[in-house]
Amino acid sequence: MSRSAGVEKILARPTVGAVLSGGWRAERPVVDASKCKLCGVCWLFCPDAAVEVSEAGVVIDYDFCKGCGICARECPFKAITMVSER
């Protein structure tokens, strides 16, 4: 059975980047790689899935990071600083 064209039309689709939420940011988190121990805590608690951790380091996706500051506060090694966007 094929889905009707009408149903296809009204269904929403999973989309990375439904909005460019990085534009909401007042402060940006900046990682000091010399302090980072790659523990992944910032990745775990980011509400916006904007952090990636790999052997190469922590990368924050500024297109989507909203600048909440949770990562900076929770980092056990104080490796993240919030810097004003202005």
Partner 1 sequence: MAHRVFPREEYLLKGHVACPGCGAAVMLRHVLKALGPNTYLVIPACCTSVIAGPHPRSAFRVPVLHIAFAASAAAASGMIEALEKLGKPANVVVWAGDGGTVDIGLQALSGAAERGHNIIYICYDNEAYMNTGIQKSGSTPHGAWTTTTPSGNPGFKKDLPGIMVSHRVPYVATLSPAYPNDTFAKLRKAASMRGGLKYLHALTPCPPGWRYDPSLTIELSRLAVETGMWVLYEVENGVFRLTGPSRALLEKGKRKPVAEYLKLQGRFRHLSPEDVERIQRMVDENWERIAEMLKEGGEHSSEQG
| Chain contacts with ligand SF4 (rule: CB under 6 A) | 29, 31, 36-42, 46, 48, 50-51, 53, 58, 60, 65-71, 75, 77, 79-80
Under the binding rule (CB under 8 A), the answer on residue 31 touching partner 1 is: no
Alpha carbons 61 and 84: distance in angstroms, whole number:
16
Please report how close the Cβ of residue 9 comes to ligand SF4 at its closest, in angstroms: 28
Partner touching 17 among ligand SF4, partner 1, none, CB below 5 to 8 Å by kind: partner 1
31 pairs with which residues across the strands?
80
Closest CA to 53 of 68, 83, 33: 33
Closest CA to 49 of 25, 35, 66, 29: 66
Structural element, H or E, at residue 54: strand 51-54
Which of 1, 5, 16, 56 is the binder for partner 1 (CB under 8 A)?
16
Under the binding rule (CB under 8 A), the answer on residue 79 touching partner 1 is: no
